[in-house]
Structure 1
Amino acid sequence: MNSETATDTTDLLAVAVAALGGATRDGQVRMANAVAHAIDTGEHLAVQAGTGTGKSLAYLVPAIAHAAESGKTVVVSTATIALQRQLVERDLPRLATALAAPLGAEPTFAILKGRSNYLCLNKIHGGVADEPEAELFDPFEASRTGREVTRLREWSSDTETGDRDDLPTGVADRSWRQVSVTARECLGAANCSYAQDCFAEHARERAAGSDVVVTNHAMLAIDALSPATILPEHDVVIIDEAHELADRITSVATDELSAASVTLAGRRAGKLIDEELADDVVGAAEMLGTLLDEAAPRLLTGLPHGWDAVLAGLRDRLWRARSAIGPVRASGDTDGDAAAARSAALTSLDELHDAAVRVLAAFDEPDPAKRRDVVWLAEENLKSGTRRSLRIAPLSVGGLLRASLFADSTVILTSATLVLGGSFDALAATWGLPAAGNRLRPGQEQTDQERTTQDLSAQARDVTASGKAVPDESGTVRWSGLDAGSPFDYPRSAILYVARHLPPPGRGGLSQEMLAELAELMAAARGRTLGLFSSMRAAREAADELRERTDHTILCQGEDSTSTLVRRFSEDPETCLFGTLSLWQGVDVPGDSLSLVVIDRIPFPRPDDPLASARARAAEAAGGNGFLSVSANHAALLLAQGAGRLLRSTTDRGVVAVLDSRLATARYGNYLLASLPPFWRTTDRATVLAALNRLTA
């Protein structure tokens, strides 16, 4: 960047905002300068930026400036496809044009996804298909899949990207798997006849030469877990939607063993090895299935009697089959079909073998609080029946993130929700960062309540995936936190109503008192209600009951695609929408269609959630409070996300109603309240009903 170009972050941001037709926002300027400072100093930064702050521009402008000046790539990671599209299709193209003149060149950008998101030409032209799932024995499902695969094959000749998200009309996952491969199934450029035309390789090439690469949290996890280099060389990582980072990393690091998956691996191997060896694998699958069917779904604190022998036998049989196949040979030694079949079989056997080894080693440490992994028996209901599996996940991903992500790059973490209980510490702990890296809002004094909530959230800091304590603030990792604020005038724009008079929620479904309260609130709001429930059962029960008590249209999640339901809700102001988890975080409906957000109960994790239970036990074993460090933080994050659905523009007004009296009466209530925006608060029903009547009259 020469001396004649703009180098000041504030000036560059002003150029960008003007070009995009926006207005200067103080919080956006503070955030942009903080991001620039972090990049310059190498100190990690966590930024809470409320809705309407303009955080995308606030981190993209200094990131692009850094890339232009240093010649190095900046990686931006998101949790959702919607934000990826916003960045790549709207924000970055406009920014590149706006900043071309002050930077002296037009910045470049690219999107990079996991290999399974792209068509595999070798699989398409080679005709190598996956074994059918149980559902495909249904003639209707088989016919539908056949039609979709045919359409995908035709599309492969027209598309320039091969990216599933560019497909005009979506297809089922099982259909997409017939034309794609995972990273482990890929033959590699040296062994594939279609390497020159590979969509995934072209995407990686575009990313390698770009100033900004947009990816997702799963790719970050794969890059951290894999010995191979997945992302292009970079020195700065910006993590948007950072409140979801730990959960997404945990998901990628979770392995699974099921009778069906082992049987499929045996069938794949059977085409390549001695029949007796393949039968041994299928036999091991049957023994595993018997174990899983005879046990109740639960967290395992040790392997039940006889399980170690069955799992060891499974491990050994998988390895013998894998050894018999041998490595994938170079493309000159065999045809593409055979190489693809060999690669698919090896991938299945490797993944299952590694999972069996991991489960067997999980209980070597006698102290549960020091174990790296959590093992549980899971059960899920499918169209074809109940499916049991053995799952294993890291107790924490903090150690992994600290050793990989934070050790190799300067990291900016941002979201509308990062401050829980008045502190960044709770989420910092899940990322493997030390405590006490916080800044308060400008001019804000630290209150006794904030000191108390920091002490509570600090109890979550103790256990990492490595089984060791997170290093304290004397360590070499340095970070700071900034609350950039929000353009919303929360006390004047919204009311937080806690129904203190209602009985605490029980396990027997929704109480009649709560349903009557909800009906009154909906009537005062004249519809315009987003109901956020702790379970689909509760959402359906409330929808069924309220349809009998009101003339308003009530949409319920599951009755159509979520995007269609949200669109219908936003188009008709007198419509209500009820649902569960994805609505807590995924609804953006500004304007008159949403005046009331109702939360049925504090969203604690289920008491039988195995991972949450194990993490709570670990916190308690380390001297902390498991409930506060795990359940309360989980609830605080979701409450803040749910309450954030109400105000989506500076002109929005309304009420967030929590129908769980514990928020006003329980000891932990203040901790949860400290995680919410500073709405005007009341427990008086008459005041809230009058306000809603005035607002929607």
Structure 2
Amino acid sequence: MPLLPYPALHASHSGIWIADAEGTRPIGRGEAIRIAADTPVILLNAPLIGQRLGYADLSGLDLLELFAFLCPARFMVPTPRGLARVTGLEPPARDEEVAALLLRAAEALLDLPKQDWPEREGAWTSAQSLFRLRWPWAMPLADRIAKPATAERWLFTRLPEWSEVAPRPAPRTIALDPEETQARLAHLTGSTAEQRPGQRAFAQAAIEAFDPRMVRDAPNMVLAEAGTGIGKTLGYLAPASLWAEKAGGAVWVSTFTKALQRQLGHESARLFPDAEVRKAKVVTRKGRENYLCLLNLEDALQGGFAGRAAILAQLVARWAAYSADGDMVGGDLPGWLPTLFRRNGSTALTDRRGECVYAGCPHYRKCFIERAARASAEADIVIANHALVMVNAARGREMATRPTRYVFDEGHHIFDAADSMFSTALTGGETIELRRWIIGPESGGRGRRRGLAARLSDVASYDEGGGIAISEAIKAAGALASDGWLQRLSEGAPFGPIEILLAAVRGLAYARADAAGDAGYGLETELAEPDAALIEAAAPAAQALDALVRPLVTLGRRLEAVLAEAPDWMDGPARARIEGAIASIGWRAETVAAWLSLLARIGGPATPDFVDWLAVDRVEGREYDVGLHRHWLDPSKPFAETVLKQAHGALVTSATLRGGGEWEVAEARTGAQHLLRGASRFEAPSPFDYASQAEVLIVTDVKRGDMGALANAYARLGVASGGGMLGLFTAIRRLRGVHARIADRLAREGLPLYAQHVDPIDTGTLVDIFRDDASASLLGTDALRDGVDVPGRSLRLVVMEGVPWPKPTVLHAARRLAGGGSAYDDRIVRARLAQAFGRLIRRADDHGAFVLLSAAMPSRLLTAFPPGVAVRRVTLDEAVMRAGRLPSVIHVGHEAREEA
């Protein structure tokens, strides 16, 4: 008999059940909603269950919240199977057994405080705060967590402080010995590992990137396409770690996906088995917006948050006390935790506004961001991402510790990352954010947001010129868009020069929109032949921005002068705070200058290096931003200038570096063609036997545009394969339409179905769920095409709705014209197909099928697939038959057995 006086509720696509002291019984949706509204219920993932019930306000005692409190910074797959695993219970074989499991799991979790519980410290203090916030689990916990005999160390007293160290000397000039490199590789792979000639050749080729540079602005660049299964991670870690050890420098390994960052962290254990040594030698770095801001958290805990957001703050505080690095996005904070709170408040706990006061913060010495920055300065291997590498280089950050050697893994994403980094957007959203950063709060409200005057009050009182510049910047910022700007634009009543400009942009975008093709999504048009309204609005807007950039530049110079004068009140913390302010002001002044350059284009000649357009951003008919955009026609050019030319060596690698094309494609998309010294090329094909492990099936009888036929194809293939299906879409609307039609059908077969943009679960957690259950299927878009690593039987079927042609945007049209027309489109499609196929075979014992639901697949694009893999044009019936013959698809309950 359960000890808790609450029933447990579970809902899936196959039914709804409730369990209590009397047992388990199925119930209808209406009864489930009535019970949940009247009685506290135990459940797993309230937003997901509420969505399945059609009851968005569902609340109760969510076991995921209880786990986050009791086991902060621990991993858990948020499913009944995952819950059973962490509580040591028998996993349910059928959906109707889940509700009873929830009752047993609740009791098992609540028994933790009676045991040797590693996260005991701080729990009682946190539980008292949650009790005052009326958290549903606070009452059951009250009798189980004893008050400690002495005061608890909790969060701010528990977190360690970092300390300053002497600057690291410049790396020594050395040349790696090939034999030593091979010996290091052998050490990393282990004496019993299978010998991989491709991996050894890869490591040998990578050495060149670590050789001494002979010509300024001409790094030793190596382009290496290493097929899946080569073992390129250890292949480049061998020379990278050896160079770091002998030269005394750091190698930055830059990735694109969080999954690869995590994988690199795991692989580093081979380099440094001792955890403490590894913590010092290998550091993961991300942008500031990924880390918990302790000052924001303190503000939230002291009343800055209310309601459910306040409960989230308490759970995040529990996690922060035990987190390895304070990374809220892809770190050890469960990805599902913010989604339980509809992400209400989670973004406010990071430094997304650029308002850090650096050494002026009382938690500066314990700051996760500062600790990561200082740890990376002393590390051998820094695991970063493309965006952070480019931001640091473009904004001159951390110049004293700027790396000289880079490894760009997932190098096929460099072009896209540079495209985002070096772009300019003069939009309402961007301008209102700048206004708030300069002026501060204008309408009261909670929070610690402060304007320039508050953040630099001591400078203003000391330096008259600085105080005047602050006042002038605040006055000029009044011309930027302000609260309510979107409504005023829709009503035809813009206020101020920037809003008048945005209104003209909006008007011209709608005037040139294709009404027949307007489905409620974004509108855009070239910045060419502007109308009179836009031309007339440009000059006053430019004047307003010029009036803003001047005092910002002046303020930056005044702050530099104050640093040079070093007045008596300037201690170490004050100096660090002013240095931080100089950096923040500098890049914002650069942003405004870029806006001015964009405005100068209106009514003038086009600039060959750039593509400019007007856009109204919408989602399902709701506008959320309006503005002008500028992208580089070739973003690899600024990447080469700011990153590559400053480096001594760079290895760029990927399994699909050439995207199924020639080496010139790789050179064009990685910036190699902009260097004085040409890049070296290396190729190692995958060791997998694709001819026997995989096949490509092009289905010829699914009519394009027929949603019913498309859904039927996905359903039949998913059932035939017994799950393990990754369904890829090019449009969210079609993904949702297919999911709505097939979820119940698969559930009746005992096959769970999850989907991006449908289930209230973050993408990383969706992949964890998919990986954990061989009977599950997952539908998604681009993020799943590029960032999924699911070896084994959990992924045995990849299904694409059609040929992934690029979206016909203004930017794409310009690059297509410059890149060879249809040949440019073909290169993009080949790359996307290669990346999607690459999800299928991850190990030597993997088997699977790649299905393309498009009779119009051109034969010229088939070179995207590995040589030797069979490509067949078949009917849907035959594709279903072949999917049913895949290994690991004989389905019995939730267990699968190998088919002979």
1:531 touches 1:599 (CA, 8 Å); kept in 2? yes
Taking structure 1 as reference, are residues 502 and 277 closer, same or farther at Cα in structure 2, changes over 3 Å only? Answer: closer
Q: How does 1:137-536 map to 2 (within 5 A)?
A: 143-149=307-313, 161-165=325-329, 166=331, 168-169=333-334, 170-171=337-338, 175=345, 178-181=348-351, 185-187=355-357, 196-229=365-398, 232-270=401-439, 272=453, 273=471, 277=476, 279-281=478-480, 282=482, 283-296=496-509, 297-302=523-528, 303=530, 304-319=534-549, 322=552, 332=569, 346=585, 350=589, 353-362=592-601, 366-367=605-606, 370-381=608-619, 386-407=624-645, 408-434=647-673, 476-500=676-700, 505=704, 509-510=705-706, 514-536=710-732
Q: One-letter code of the match for 2:854?
A: D
Deviations, residues 496-520 of structure 1 (Å, cap 9, x unaligned): 11224555x3xxx335555554455
Provide the TM-score with structure 1 as the length reference: 0.77
Q: CA deviation at 1:638?
A: 1.4
1:585 maps to which residue? Answer: 786
CA distance in 2 between counterparts of 1:321 and 1:41 reads 44
- Determine if the alignment matches structure 1 residue 556 to structure 2 residue 755: yes
- Identify the residue that residue 84 of structure 2 maps to in structure 1: none
Cα deviation, residue 247, structure 1? 0.9
Asked if the contact 1:277/1:320 (under 8 Å) is kept, the reply is no
Q: Structure 2 counterpart of 1:366, which letter? A: P
Aligned to 2:885, the other structure's residue is in SS state helix
Q: Structure 2: 5+ residue runs without aligned partners?
A: 1-171, 214-219, 441-452, 454-470, 483-495, 510-522, 891-900
Give yes or no for contact 2:395–2:587 (8 Å, CA) kept in 1. no
Confirm or deny: 8 A CA contact 1:184 1:347 kept in the other structure: no
User: 2:583 and 2:203 mapped to 1: Cα distance?
Assistant: 46
Q: What percent identity do the matched residue pairs reach?
A: 26
Shift of 1:205: 2.3
CA drift at 1:289? 4.0
Relative distance call for 1:374 and 1:325 in structure 2 (3 A) is same
Given residue 267 of structure 2, which amino acid in structure 1 is its aligned partner?
D
Structure of higher CA gyration radius: 2
| Residue 108 (structure 1) aligned to one of 273, 278, 281 | 281
Check whether the contact 2:611–2:633 (CA below 8 A) recurs between aligned residues: yes
Q: Cα offset for 1:429?
A: 0.4
Residue 626 of structure 2 aligns to a residue in which SS?
strand
| Residue 881 (structure 2) pairs with residue 681 (structure 1) | no
Opposite residue 404 of structure 1, the aligned amino acid is T
TM-score, normalised to structure 2, is 0.61
Matched, 1:12 2:181: no
Counterparts of 1:183 and 1:571 in 2: how far apart (Å)? 36
Return the offset for 1:539: 1.5
Structure 1 residue 151: Cα displacement: 5.5
Give the CA deviation at 1:76. 0.7
- Equivalent residues of 1:32, 1:62 under 8 A apart: yes
CA contact (8 A) 2:505 2:626 kept: yes
Q: Deviations over 1:623-675 (max 9, x none)?
A: xx23322x222222211111112112211212111112222xx3xx4245345
Query: How far apart, CA to CA, are the structure 2 residues paired with 1:87 and 1:394?
Result: 31
Q: Relative to structure 1, is the Cα distance of residues 221 and 340 closer, same or farther in structure 2, using a 3 angstrom cutoff?
A: closer
- For the structure 1 residues 160 and 644, does the alpha-carbon distance in structure 2 shift closer, same or farther, using more than 3 Å as the test? closer
C-alpha distance 214-221 of structure 1, shift in aligned 2 (>3 A):
same
Gaps of at least 5 residues in structure 1 are 133-140, 435-469, 620-624
Deviations 1:329-349 (A, max 9, x none): 669379989989988995796
Deviation at 1:121, TM superposition (A): 5.2
Q: Are the equivalent residues in 1 in contact too, given 2:497–2:537 (CA < 8 A)?
A: no
Query: Deviation of residue 546 (structure 1)?
Result: 3.5
The match for 2:800 is 599
1:244 to partner: Cα distance: 1.1
Letter in 2 for 1:109: V
The CA RMSD measured in Å over matched residues stands at 4.2
Distance in 2, Cα, partners of 1:479 & 1:364 = 41
Change (3 A) 1:231 1:592: farther
> Which one is further off, 559-568 or 214-223?
559-568
Change over 3 Å in CA distance of 1:349–1:71 after alignment to 2: closer
Describe the shift of the 1:60–1:570 C-alpha distance in structure 2 as closer, same or farther (beyond 3 A).
Answer: closer
How far residue 214 of structure 1 moved from its aligned partner, in angstroms, is 1.4
Conserved 8 A contact 1:490-1:679:
yes
State the distance in 2 between where 1:72 and 1:479 align: 23
CA 598–682 in structure 1, closer or farther in 2 if over 3 Å, else same? same
